[in-house]
Amino acid sequence: MGDWKIGDDRRRRSTDQLQSLREANDGQVAWDTEAPADFTFLYHPDRILVRASDVEGFDQAVARLAKGVLLGEPVRDDTRLLDGELVRYLLPDRAEDRTVIEVLELLEESGLPLGAASPDHWVHISPGGPGGSACPAIEPQETGLTEPWPPVAPQEKGQEVSVVVVDTGWHPPAANDPRTPWLKGVDGDDELNGPALRPYAGHGTFIAGVVRCVAPVTKVFVEGFAIGGVGGGGILESDLVEQLEEALAHDPQVINLSAGCRTRLDLPSIAFETFYRTRLQKVDCVLVAAAGNDSWAAPFWPAAFDWCVGVGSLDRNGRVSAYSNFGVSADVYALGRNLVNAFPDGTFECNETPDKGDIRVFDSGMARWSGTSFAAPVVAGLIAREISETGASAKDARDVVLTRADYDSDPTIGPMMELRQPYPRP
């Protein structure tokens, strides 16, 4: 299906990432274009998601399909997602090998409302393009620096604030490593690192470190969804909302999610919308998400929701990074280029063009990394710090932090808000 090798470095890099994701998930990854490098969104080839309120309409639309389109009946998953508010169907074999996308089009032609059902999209932490990215914009790089950047911001007073980083998992030695003292007390799901570092190793640990540097008086837990490299840095949206539900068990005031996805027809993600409606809006907690690294203005979910703080990336000169998404997915921009923070020691083999096959040796407990994944925890930390120092609610703290941002205007992007400084002003 398409040519996996043709194109420039950006296109080849996209196919490198897509091949890795497919191999890690037994081939259960489909895309919406002929050429893999041109995909807009990724999805499970046999699953459909339906809101509980739309199940009856879905079943009726299935019954109206022409005989032979489906070679059997859709099987309703018995997993109760979000107390049954989100329903997952497994499609049977289809005539002419019709894709999930083609079946959805036929269902909509037979009367199913647009947006009532959706593919189960793949959410990914890696760069992509044009549609599969959230972070990093590059693979991790060695650094000779021994201090983090942004540096640890001194905080003399404040109440402890709970922050959950939903990511690849946690590298436990970092909590007691004298080279990374700002991570003392951080906990999370062990990502099981060895001397040979897998793709995406250290992503969650690095992000936890950024949060702690901005907001030292925080209790940080890293909820892992790709432990041991499972999933190739990706997770289906229906599975991710279960991880977000588990994150809420830690009573966080802030959740950082440096991941996201594009969707079919750019429709809002059913899974994330249902999570918000049934869970997040009922508690005082703010979700901060990466805006993605596709250099596009198209919606990237969940960052594009109005209830989520979507964060784009800035370079050191205060300009939007070339890789950063903008528009509806970026409510605010923060430093996302060449951050330095904690990273596991070990040997890393690059997996992506043009560095594929290069060997990088990490032995300082630190790495340099770029992407909207790392801009997001700067903002998550600012919100946590505001809560800590003022006792504000999470939502009020979010509003205060966004109000502090400097307004600017770029003729290619339009109005935007830039957090030019990584820490609150005096």
Band of residue 352 on the pLDDT scale cut at 50, 70, 90: confident
Q: At what angle do helices 394-404 and 372-390 cross, to 10 degrees?
A: 120
User: Do residues 81 and 195 both lie within one domain?
Assistant: no
CATH number at residue 93: 3.30.70.80
Task: Give one word for 115, left, alpha or beta, with left for phi > 0 and alpha for psi -120 to 50.
Answer: left
pTM of the shown model: 0.94
User: Do residues 118 and 241 both lie within one domain?
Assistant: no
User: Do residues 299 and 224 both lie within one domain?
Assistant: yes
User: Do residues 108 and 219 both lie within one domain?
Assistant: no
Q: Contact, 420 vs 408, CB < 8 A?
A: no
Domain annotation covers residue 138? no
User: Do residues 365 and 261 both lie within one domain?
Assistant: yes
pLDDT digits (tens, 9 = 90+) for 126-141: 544 444 444 445 789 9
User: Do residues 65 and 177 both lie within one domain?
Assistant: no
68 has a pLDDT exceeding 70: yes
Domain annotation covers residue 35? no
Domain annotation covers residue 206? yes
Q: Choose the final residue of a domain: 108, 123, 138.
A: 123
User: Do residues 81 and 223 both lie within one domain?
Assistant: no
Q: Given this model, what pLDDT does residue 35 score?
A: 83
The parent domain of residue 59 ranges over 42-123
User: Can you tell me the mean pLDDT for 62-66?
Assistant: 95
Domain annotation covers residue 373? yes
Domain annotation covers residue 37? no
Domain annotation covers residue 29? no
- Provide, rounded to the nearest whole percent, the portion of the chain with pLDDT above 70: 89
Domain annotation covers residue 12? no
User: Do residues 119 and 176 both lie within one domain?
Assistant: no
User: Which of the pair, 228 or 11, is modelled with greater confidence?
Assistant: 11
User: Can you tell me the mean pLDDT for 398-404?
Assistant: 95
User: Do residues 319 and 182 both lie within one domain?
Assistant: yes
User: Do residues 98 and 214 both lie within one domain?
Assistant: no
Render 326-383 in DSSP notation, one character per residue.
-GGG-SEEEE-SSEEEE---EEEE--STTSTT-EEEE-SSEEEE-SHHHHHHHHHHHH
pLDDT digits (tens, 9 = 90+) for 382-395: 999 999 999 999 99
pLDDT digits (tens, 9 = 90+) for 165-175: 999 999 999 99
Domain annotation covers residue 207? yes
Q: Choose the final residue of a domain: 66, 99, 123.
A: 123
User: Do residues 250 and 388 both lie within one domain?
Assistant: yes
User: Which of the pair, 14 or 305, is modelled with greater confidence?
Assistant: 305
User: Do residues 117 and 204 both lie within one domain?
Assistant: no
Total of domains in the chain: 2
Q: Given this model, what pLDDT does residue 414 score?
A: 59
Residue 327 and residue 304: Cα distance in Å, rounded?
9
Q: Choose the final residue of a domain: 93, 123, 153.
A: 123
pLDDT digits (tens, 9 = 90+) for 48-59: 999 999 999 999
User: Can you tell me the mean pLDDT for 97-104?
Assistant: 96
Compute CA 138 distance to the chain's CA centroid, rounded to the nearest angstrom: 15
